[in-house]
Structure formats: C-alpha cells, structure tokens
C-alpha cells in the first residue's frame, strides 16, 4: 500500500497552510467535535443567510488528514448554497466509505478528491471526516433554529 | 542482549508473516497487547478440542477435566504472583477487575467495611489509565466521596511531596498504577502503601503494565488488591485477574449475581459462595483462563528477571537513539531507574497519527493517540503521543528500524513547507 496515495501533495499543502483557520466572529452556530480514539479536536463556526453558507471557519488540533480535510471543506463550502453544500457533503462521505473504489466527482469535490486514497486506510477515515461531521452537525442545528 | 530473541521469536507464529507488501513485522506495541506463543494458542485450542465442558458442574469426565484445567490455571496464576489459590478471581479483563472492585465496594451495606460515605476520599494519580480512573471517579459520584490525586513532575514521576495531606484520615482507597502505560514510569509503592495503611485505606494496584515484564510478589508489594489482564502478558484476550487478600475478599460483597456464585438460593434471598466463586458468576471464560495458565508458565520458563533486564537494555538503547535525533522529545523518565520498556515521544511538528502511518508503511507497529490516559496527555500539553513498547521478543534490530523510520518520516513530511 503506497503511502503517497494518502499523503497527496495538495493534502500536505493544506495541512501546512490551512484555509479558514481561526474562528470568525461571524457565526450563527458553533460546534465542537472530537475524535475520542485519537484526541483530535475541531471547533467550527457556521453562518448561513438566505440559503447561502456565508462562512465556515474553524480551529483545531489534529493530524494532517483531519486538519487538511477541515481546511478544504471550509473553502469548498463557504459561498455555496446550503443545498449544494449538502450534496458536496454527501459526495465526500460516499467517497470516504468507498474503500478506494471511487475516484470522487471532481466537479463537486474539487481538490477534496485527493482524499480518495485515504479511504483505503480504515483507521484514517474518521480523521478525514472530522471537519465534515462538524459542518453537518452545525448545518443541522441551524435548520432547527 | 540477555535473551535469545531468535529462539524466542520461533515460539510466536505471528513473526512468520510479513506486513505491508512483504515487510518484516517490527512489533513495538506490546503495551497495547502482546503477541501469543504457540503454547498459549495450543492451550486455548486444545481446551475446546479435547476438554470442553462447563466447569464446576456436570457429573461427567469432560466436566472433570475442564474443571481441573481451569482450577489448575488458577493455581499457576496464584504461584506466579505469590498468592493463594482462592485469592485469584478470573474476570474478563483488568478493566472488569477494577470495575468489579469499585462496584462491589459501592454495593456494601451502610457501615460495612468497604462502604463509602459522603466526604470519604479516594486517591488516584494523574497518570492513571482510564480503567483505573473512571471506575473510582464514578464511584465518588455515586457515593458522595471525594476524588483526590497525585500529580506528576516534569520527569513524569509521581509528586509525593504532599502525600500526608493527599492520603488523609478520610481516605478509603488509594488506586494507583504500578507502571505508567504512557511514560513507562514505575511508581514507588513503599511510601504509598505505608501511608495508606497508616490511615486504614486499601491500596489497589493496576499491574497491567508491570506483571508481564517483572517478577512480582503480592505479599512483598504489600498492596491489598491488584488487577491485570492476560492479553498483555502473552495470554489470550477475554480474561483478566483480580487478586485480593483473602480476608478482604471474604468481606467484599459480590458485584455480578447469577449461577456459580451462590451458596443457597430461595425465592426471596440468597447467600454467597466463598471467594473466588462469589465473584465469578456464570460459566467463566474457561479456555482463556487455561491459556493464561500456559502464558505464565511460559513467562516463568524464560524468567521474569531476565525479561526485565532485556527490556531495560532495549529501553536504554531506544532512549539514547531517540535523543540523538534532532527535534525528538521524550515524555517520561530518560533514565533506566524505576522505569519499564514503554517510551512515548513526539517528533517535530509531525502529528503522531502521521508518524504512526509512516512507520506502518515500513512494517513498524507502534501506538499513537492518548493511550486511554487523556488527563495525562493534557498535563503533558499534547493531544497525542507516539508510543513504542518492547517485550521479550524484541531486539536491537527492531529499534534500529524504528529510529530509521523516525528519520524517514522527518524526511517524508518535510517535502512541503
């Protein structure tokens, strides 16, 4: 199993230079998620208006996979319609559950298709999903408001 | 090298396989679970193949043989730690052993020997595994007792400077680990046991990380209860041990009720069998207990003192090697004194999961994460660490591979900045 399938250049690049990191004052809801098996943590602020994801910002500590994934997720979802963001979230989750059998839809996921390789490593799927699950939770909470 | 690891490794069939596309298996995760020698695998298998029957019941030959094997194993374990047979309680894990104790104490009638009152105190330490923290923390919540703890110093040793105030006249239980599963620190028990007994408190020792690696005699240690698991000591999963001094087990109420643990039963009341049966409700994990017997026999045939010496020499070698790599930080004692073969460390800014993943690609198995000791990690100021732990089947070449792996990871993850 080739390690480079997991540690794609674009992933390590996001890890070293994360986007939307640092919690924005603009928020409708804040969630805090942890991965109890490893101790990785993320806090995510989400603001939504008129059916648009206005901003996703986050802060956290964790491995390259969890942090890079949170970075890509926040860049990808900020500015999208909430309905589009849901589709992207679903596509990413499907990709991560694919055990390496899917390439990922580049039109929807853009750079996040780089995580296709991570889906071959069962122990790391939760890492890649940490930020996305935080977004899902935040979006769900806003719907309920 | 004090042990013939080439010969020892032949006893462990797992070392015949390779990992990650043909790489030699470098197993440095025995602190999580040890590998199993053929004698243990065979003992468990042969119980099922030739002797399987429910122990302590049935009037047939198989029931007799199964009971002999199960009780024979109890004697082997008792001899292994210097205990009496009836002081050995088989559980499903060390975690269950510690929970059994906490729940049994919580089941005590008001005023009984082990009953806790609001304001009574239980003492633990900051370096406890969750299994020796949460049962006591929750027992405090149920009873109104107060949880206190020893903190650790910068070298990863217990800070005993305030022992006389931390262990007070209100202390009922002192639950402490013998050896830290993160830092490798071996705790000095003499002062703790003396102070605890001075105030009438019971000492509960979590020996999961020490029993597999050093010669232990419960009488000499002076503790009151001791818990360990088989699977870290070459034995099967699914079986643990609770040892308690006979007169204490006699007064301790049961935790699980059911078959095998009773003396008499009516529709309205029951009385209990004497220990250890009182604590072994239901048909026990017989094959696993028999496997544990084979494991302690194997360990004794190699010699616990030899194993400990071997591991200390490996640990020194590993610590020296890690110290020679720039940007590596070791958590826990950097000397050989009062420490075992568990070394936790951090490398630069490489997250332990990424380091572990790289090492895995080289065939090296280490543990990464918080090691079920979240409060300790918080104290160390890290979310996670990488942990290498050695056992009797490891040799210097395993550690050379690890050190080379750390250098390789530094190179691999510095590609981008």
- At B246, is the pLDDT very low, low, confident or very high (cuts 50, 70, 90)? very high
How far A32 CA lies from chain B's nearest CA (Å)? 15
Question: Does residue B120 or residue B383 have the better pLDDT?
Answer: B120
- Model confidence pLDDT, tens digit, residues B27-58: 999 999 999 999 999 999 999 999 999 998 88
* pLDDT at site A36: 85
Helices (H) and strands (E) in chain B, counts: 14, 17
DSSP code at position B351 = -
How far A10 CA lies from chain B's nearest CA (Å)? 10
Mean pLDDT of A98-113: 94
Q: Tell me if chain A has a CB within 8 Å of the CB of B412.
A: yes
Contacts of A35 in chain B (CB under 8 A): none
Mean pLDDT of B65-86: 98
Mean pLDDT of B252-268: 96
- At B121, is the pLDDT very low, low, confident or very high (cuts 50, 70, 90)? very high
Q: What Rg value do the Cα atoms of chain B yield, rounded?
A: 22
Percent of chain A residues topping a pLDDT of 70: 99
* pLDDT at site B300: 98
Q: Which of B344, B357, B385 to mutate to test the interface with A (most CBs of A within 10 A)?
A: B357
Q: Which of residues 18-77 of B touch A (CB under 8 A)?
A: 20-21
- ipTM value: 0.90
Q: In this complex, do B369 and A62 lie within 8 Å of one another by their Cβ atoms?
A: no
Distances (CA, A) of B222 to B83, B127, B244: 12, 21, 11
* pLDDT at site B58: 81
* pLDDT at site B51: 97
Evaluated on CA atoms B155, B161, B166, B167, the torsion sign reads: positive
Does the pLDDT value for residue B371 go beyond 90? no
* pLDDT at site B327: 93
Does the pLDDT value for residue A127 go beyond 60? yes
* pLDDT at site A144: 80
Distance, in Å, from the CA atom of A68 to the CA atom of A75, rounded to the nearest integer, reads 11
3-state secondary structure of B242: strand
Q: Is B372 a catalytic residue?
A: yes
Q: In this complex, do B369 and A37 lie within 8 Å of one another by their Cβ atoms?
A: yes
Q: In this complex, do B384 and A1 lie within 8 Å of one another by their Cβ atoms?
A: no
Structure-block tokens of residue B322:
């890690």
- Model confidence pLDDT, tens digit, residues A53-92: 999 999 999 999 999 999 999 999 999 999 999 999 999 9
Question: Does residue B234 or residue B370 have the better pLDDT?
Answer: B234
Mean pLDDT (chain B, rounded)? 96
∠ at Cα A119 (A103, B402), nearest 5°?
A: 130
- Between 3.20.20.70, 3.90.1010.10, 3.40.640.10, 1.10.150.120, what CATH number should domain A3-144 receive? 3.90.1010.10
Residue found under tokens 């200390």: B312
Distances (CA, A) of B44 to A50, B51, B108, B140, B235: 65, 10, 36, 39, 9
Percent of chain B residues topping a pLDDT of 70: 99
- Model confidence pLDDT, tens digit, residues B173-218: 999 999 999 999 999 999 999 999 999 999 999 999 999 999 999 9
Mean pLDDT of B72-93: 98
Q: Specify the DSSP element, H or E, that contains B76.
A: helix B61-81
Distance, in Å, from the CA atom of A21 to the CA atom of B334, rounded to the nearest integer, reads 36
Contacts of B385 in chain A (CB under 8 A): none
Percent of chain A residues topping a pLDDT of 90: 89
Q: In this complex, do B383 and A13 lie within 8 Å of one another by their Cβ atoms?
A: no
Of B368, B412, B417, the CB nearest to A16: B417
Domain ranges of chain A: 3-144
Does the pLDDT value for residue A45 go beyond 90? yes
* pLDDT at site B1: 53
Contacts of A121 in chain B (CB under 8 A): 357
Mean pLDDT of A82-103: 95
* pLDDT at site A1: 65
DSSP code at position A21 = B
Helices (H) and strands (E) in chain A, counts: 5, 3
Distance, in Å, from the CA atom of B50 to the CA atom of B66, rounded to the nearest integer, reads 9
Mean pLDDT of B227-242: 98
Domains and CATH numbers, chain B: 5-30+304-413 (3.90.1150.10), 41-300 (3.40.640.10)
- At B348, is the pLDDT very low, low, confident or very high (cuts 50, 70, 90)? confident
- At B342, is the pLDDT very low, low, confident or very high (cuts 50, 70, 90)? very high
Distances (CA, A) of A123 to A128, B14, B97, B245: 10, 21, 29, 42
Does the pLDDT value for residue B391 go beyond 60? yes
Does the pLDDT value for residue B417 go beyond 80? no
């Amino acid at each position: 199993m080739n390690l480079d399938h997991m540690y794609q250049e674009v992933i390590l690049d996001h890890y070293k230079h994360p986007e939307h990191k640092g919690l924005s004052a603009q928020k409708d809801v804040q969630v805090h998620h942890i991965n109890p098996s490893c101790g990785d943590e993320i806090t995510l602020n989400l603001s939504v208006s008129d059916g648009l994801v206005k901003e996703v910002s986050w802060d956290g500590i964790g491995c390259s996979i969890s942090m890079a994934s949170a970075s890509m997720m926040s860049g990808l979802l900020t500015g999208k319609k909430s309905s589009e963001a849901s589709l992207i979230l679903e596509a990413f989750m499907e990709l991560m559950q694919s055990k390496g059998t899917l390439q990922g839809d580049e039109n929807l996921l853009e750079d996040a298709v780089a995580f296709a390789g991570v889906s071959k490593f069962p122990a790391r799927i939760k890492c890649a999903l940490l930020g996305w699950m935080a977004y899902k939770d935040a979006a769900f909470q806003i719907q309920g408001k | 090298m004090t042990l013939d690891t080439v010969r020892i490794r032949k006893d462990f069939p797992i070392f015949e396989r390779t990992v990650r596309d043909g790489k030699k298996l470098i197993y440095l995760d025995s602190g999580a679970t040890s590998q199993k020698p053929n004698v243990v695998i065979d003992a468990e298998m042969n119980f099922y193949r030739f002797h399987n029957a429910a122990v302590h019941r049935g009037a047939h030959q198989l029931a007799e043989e199964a009971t002999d094997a199960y009780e024979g194993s109890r004697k082997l374990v008792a001899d292994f730690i210097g205990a009496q047979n009836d002081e050995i309680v088989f559980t499903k894990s060390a975690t269950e052993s510690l929970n059994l104790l906490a729940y049994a104490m919580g089941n005590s009638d008001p005023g009984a020997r082990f009953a806790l009152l609001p304001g009574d105190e239980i003492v633990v330490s900051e370096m406890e595994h969750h299994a020796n923290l949460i049962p006591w923390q929750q027992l405090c919540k149920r009873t109104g007792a107060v949880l206190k703890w020893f903190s650790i110093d910068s070298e990863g040793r217990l800070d005993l400077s305030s022992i006389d105030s931390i262990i007070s006249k209100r202390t009922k239980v002192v639950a402490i680990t013998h050896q830290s599963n993160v830092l490798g620190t071996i705790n000095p028990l003499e002062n703790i046991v003396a102070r605890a007994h001075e105030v009438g408190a019971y000492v509960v020792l979590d020996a999961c990380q020490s029993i597999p690696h050093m010669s232990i005699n419960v009488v000499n240690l002076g503790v009151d209860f001791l818990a360990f698991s088989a699977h870290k000591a070459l034995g099967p999963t699914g079986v643990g041990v609770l040892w308690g001094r006979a007169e204490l087990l006699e007064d301790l109420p049961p935790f699980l009720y059911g078959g095998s643990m009773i003396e008499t039963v009516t529709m309205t009341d029951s009385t209990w069998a004497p220990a250890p049966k009182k604590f072994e409700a239901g048909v026990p994990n017989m094959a696993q207990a028999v496997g544990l017997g084979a494991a302690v026999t194997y360990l004794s045939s190699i010699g616990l003192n030899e194993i400990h010496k071997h591991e200390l020499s490996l640990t020194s070698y590993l610590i020296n090697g890690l110290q020679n790599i720039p940007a590596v930080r070791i958590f826990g004692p950097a000397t050989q004194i009062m420490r075992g073969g568990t070394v936790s460390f951090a490398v630069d800014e490489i997250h332990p999961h990424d380091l572990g993943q790289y090492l895995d690609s080289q065939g090296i198995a280490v543990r990464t994460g918080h090691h079920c000791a979240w409060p300790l990690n918080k104290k160390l100021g890290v979310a996670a660490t990488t942990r290498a732990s050695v056992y009797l089947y490891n040799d210097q070449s395993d550690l050379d591979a690890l050190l080379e792996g750390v250098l390789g990871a530094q190179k691999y993850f510095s590609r981008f900045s």
